[in-house]
Structure 1
Amino acid sequence: MEPGRAEKDFGRFDVKTVIRNIYILFSRSELQIAGEGEEIMDLVELSAPLPAWFTEDDLQVYASLYEKSGFKFPLQMPYRSVHRMMKWVDPTVEAPAMLIMCEKDYCIKFPGMEDYIKSGMVKQFVPNLETVVMPEGTHFVHEQSADEVNKLIVAFLNNHVLTG
């Protein structure tokens, strides 16, 4: 795919700054929208601190990994490949699945998303979905509350062990 707006936006900064900005932006509970003439990377003040649970060491490790791999795949999946996924004959996921998200995750603020998840409409496509909505945490709950999330995942896996 042709490099797009996000690649141009990210390309203005070094990898460490992009990762830093993403963690700051997506750890907020409000939906971030770039206005006319600005890009997503413009929404972070240079003086904004990292989230308390994300250290400078974490940032350095993540930046070193993205320096090797780049941002191409994260920008392709699933945002730019959803049109290919829509061609599936039956997009239903029958396997047991678990969704862990937080009340303060900005994603739940997308129009209709909270109702789609909490009403159970999502089970039309994932009938065996177990949903856990944690009261605290944001988009990175798996990093913010790693012990709690790990316990939820282990319990889920223990409840769905295949026998035979």
Structure 2
Amino acid sequence: MDKISHRFLQINGLNLHVAEIGSDSSPAVIFLHGFPEIWYTWRHQMIALATAGFRSIALDYRGYGLSDPPAEPEKASYDDFVNDIASILDSLSISKVFVIAKDFGVWVAYSFILLHQEKIAGIVTLGMAFTPPAAYKPRFALPEGFYVRRWQEPGRAEADFGRFDVKTVVRNIYILFSRSEIPIANENQEIMDLVEPMTPLPSWFTEQDLATYAALYEKSGFQTALQIPYRASKINLGSVEQVPIVKAPTMVIIGEEDYATKIPGVDEYVRSGEVKKYVPNLETVYVPNGSHFVHEQFPNHVSQLILGFLNRNK
């Protein structure tokens, strides 16, 4: 960890935090995090890839971690994140890059990729495959108590989170998202109430890890994190009429116990091969017992999967 360097880049009027390890002359890899994560979620993979001869770069999105918040977090958009990534790569003089993304970072990644296919050497996503509007079909509606629906409601999560300190909020979300069941609250419950106070952390997530995340969310707060991904307008991934095709080699790594695979239609979309209509050069790998945080749960295994892909496509 002490070999990872940190700097701030002046990007689109904000100071954005970037963590790096590896030689500037090595093939570049940029890591895009989800929620409740920041750059630190990729620590294991960053080091493994740099050791194997790649340049690892991970950022905190604007309003996350050590990066500056936007002037009006409630108006932040996915386009802001996409433009920031393009500007970071330009600032670092990187013309070709591998993109590795997780959770809602997958949406950010694919929006960036569709705009800059010529810059993409390959794509690895964790937990989520490319799902453009053309792929959506009528599905079962998730109940009102589904955490995404709750957090879309302005003020609801703020009131829920506000009953606890930041460390407890991050702890509860990590515990919830590590389970195989979709987090759904009853009518008279809030999402934070789904975790009993004495519930232990997952065995692979240490108190030091929790303290690191908590310190960074103490700095940033949750204002931007609730706007993106939960409340922002839809990201540009094409349309029903204009179906985008992702040409670059692609891998998706999915934990078999990831709660997100239980969302109606999600698992079938990948396993049936429908996804290959949009991403024809796709390799799918399932990790037994893997959770939503498969890259932290099984860091060596996931790092080796990623390295195999990178070496085949560099």
TM-score, normalising length from structure 2? 0.48
Task: Give percent identity, aligned residues only.
Answer: 60
**Distance between the aligned counterparts of 1:31 and 1:126, measured in 2?**
27
* Structure 2 residue ranges without an equivalent (≥5): 1-73, 76-153
Q: Is residue 51 from structure 1 mapped to residue 202 from structure 2 by the alignment? A: yes
**Distance between the aligned counterparts of 1:75 and 1:130, measured in 2?**
32
Residue number in structure 1 paired with 2:309: 156
Q: Deviations over 1:122-152 (max 9, x none)?
A: 2223222221111122101100000000001
Q: Matched residue of 1:147: which SS?
A: helix
The 1:84/1:4 distance shift into structure 2, 3 A limit, reads: farther
Q: Which amino acid aligns with 2:302?
A: V
How many residues are paired up? 161
**Distance between the aligned counterparts of 1:98 and 1:74, measured in 2?**
26
Residue number in structure 2 paired with 1:36: 187
The 1:93/1:39 distance shift into structure 2, 3 A limit, reads: farther
**Distance between the aligned counterparts of 1:125 and 1:79, measured in 2?**
25
The 1:81/1:95 distance shift into structure 2, 3 A limit, reads: farther
Residue number in structure 2 paired with 1:143: 296
Residue number in structure 1 paired with 2:246: 93
Higher strand fraction: Structure 1 or Structure 2?
A: 2
Q: Is residue 113 from structure 1 mapped to residue 266 from structure 2 by the alignment? A: yes
Cα offset for 1:86? 5.4
Q: Matched residue of 2:254: which SS?
A: strand
Cα offset for 1:94? 2.5
Q: Is residue 5 from structure 1 mapped to residue 146 from structure 2 by the alignment? A: no
Q: Matched residue of 1:38: which SS?
A: coil
Q: Matched residue of 1:98: which SS?
A: strand
Q: Is residue 131 from structure 1 mapped to residue 289 from structure 2 by the alignment? A: no
Deviation >4 Å, runs of 4+: 86-91
Residue number in structure 1 paired with 2:231: 80
Cα offset for 1:58? 0.7
**Distance between the aligned counterparts of 1:142 and 1:155, measured in 2?**
15
**Over aligned residues, Cα RMSD in angstroms?**
2.0
Q: Which amino acid aligns with 1:81?
A: A
Q: Which amino acid aligns with 1:14?
A: D
Cα offset for 1:31? 1.5
Q: Matched residue of 1:149: which SS?
A: helix
Say which of 256, 269, 275 aligns to 1:122.
Answer: 275
TM-score, normalising length from structure 1? 0.87
* Structure 1 residue ranges without an equivalent (≥5): none
